Structure 1
Amino acid sequence: MGRPIDDSDRAAVKRLHAKGKSRNDIARAIKRSPSTVSKIAANLDPPLTFDRAPQVEAATAVRKADLAARRTAFAERLQDIAEREADKLSAPTLYWEWGGKDHKYAQKLADEPIPADRRAIMGVISTALDRSLKLVPPKDDGASESRSVIGDLMAGLARDYAERHGGPPPEFVADDQAAEDDADA
């Protein structure tokens, strides 16, 4: 059986808890088990708790924000790589080789990469862009905003027509549809 809990243990738990120490840190400091520290804390008046959910939640939110910022930074690096590689598609390219029995060095400056090298460059560009977009997907392509602007414009035109003509505008029927409707009648 362990040593009994005394007033110095209770005072130490109060003091260390007030400093924000965890249950396990307090247990190590007073050389007691974590379960003993929990018993002491529960029997104090008022009882002390070691509920760290708010701190854990805040730390988790900070960690997620840090990771999001790092993903964004890395996505930007991948975008930079893709742009640098795209510049190589039409840039002069130096080709060289060692060959022959005398191991001669030969080089040639081409106006742009050969097709095989262009394919390889396109592969690098594609991979870099794909990974960049997976790390930080685009938020909006603007299409929904355009649709809402057009919808707002159409509604405004309908209101204006109703004010000037005393009623809603007639339904628009395309010439093709009008010809079909006339044939059905």
Structure 2
Amino acid sequence: MATPITDEERERFRELFDQGLARNDIARIMNRSGWTVTQMAKSAGVSFDRSITIAATAARSSDLAEKRSVLAEEMVEAAFQALIEVRKKPYLVGAFGGRDGTWHEQYLESAPVAEIRQALTSAGIAFDKASRIVERDTGELHQAVSFLGRLQEAISAVYEEEHQAVDDVVE
């Protein structure tokens, strides 16, 4: 059974709310659940503005999408360079060997099949991963842009209502 909310808690809630604290912060400070703090807000006739959190989340999502895009470009470029390298003729191979473990190099007419296969496999994986990143981010970016547009419209509507209320009082 839930512990009843005291008058002191209601006062403390209002103090914390007026300081601009978020619901979960107030809940932690008051040692109450988020649901209880929401109920206190409702009974006090106030609500928590989530537009800042929503906008910050959208911005963070956009930043991460940009990083994924850069990573995808780097992956594709590295794979592309590997494919260029295995096509070079003559192809330089090298390895440590011999009793004393010295480095030995030799030019071959073309890259060994195993190295060509490794380059093609790496390029295929890079292409696949990059394609998935781009497909995913295109959808997320569309959602973020759509959300930001709706948020801008909502903010504009509130601004217009406030402006109209001020104009009505002035007249």
- Map 1:44-83 to 2 at 5 A: 44=44, 47-50=45-48, 52=50, 54-83=51-80
**Is the 8 Å Cα contact of residues 23 and 37 (structure 1) preserved in structure 2?**
yes
**Partner of residue 6, structure 2:** 5
**Partner of residue 29, structure 2:** 29
Deviations 1:74-111 (A, max 9, x none): 10110221122023121632244646xx6886642325
Q: What is the rounded CA distance, in whole Å, between the counterparts of 1:85 and 1:12 in structure 2? A: 64
**Partner of residue 118, structure 2:** 120
Q: What is the rounded CA distance, in whole Å, between the counterparts of 1:33 and 1:107 in structure 2? A: 69
**Partner of residue 92, structure 2:** 93
Name the one with the larger helix percent: 2
Equivalent pairs, count: 132
Q: 1:79 to 1:5 in 2, by over 3 A?
A: same
Q: CA deviation at 1:36?
A: 4.9
Question: Unaligned stretches of 5+ in structure 2?
Answer: 139-171
TM-score w.r.t. structure 1 length? 0.54
- SS, match of residue 12 in structure 2: helix
User: Percent identity of the aligned residues?
Assistant: 27
**Partner of residue 41, structure 1:** 41
Question: Unaligned stretches of 5+ in structure 1?
Answer: 140-185
Superposition RMSD in Å: 3.4
- SS, match of residue 94 in structure 1: strand
- Give the structure, 1 or 2, with the largest relative contact order (CA under 8 Å, sep 6 or more): 2
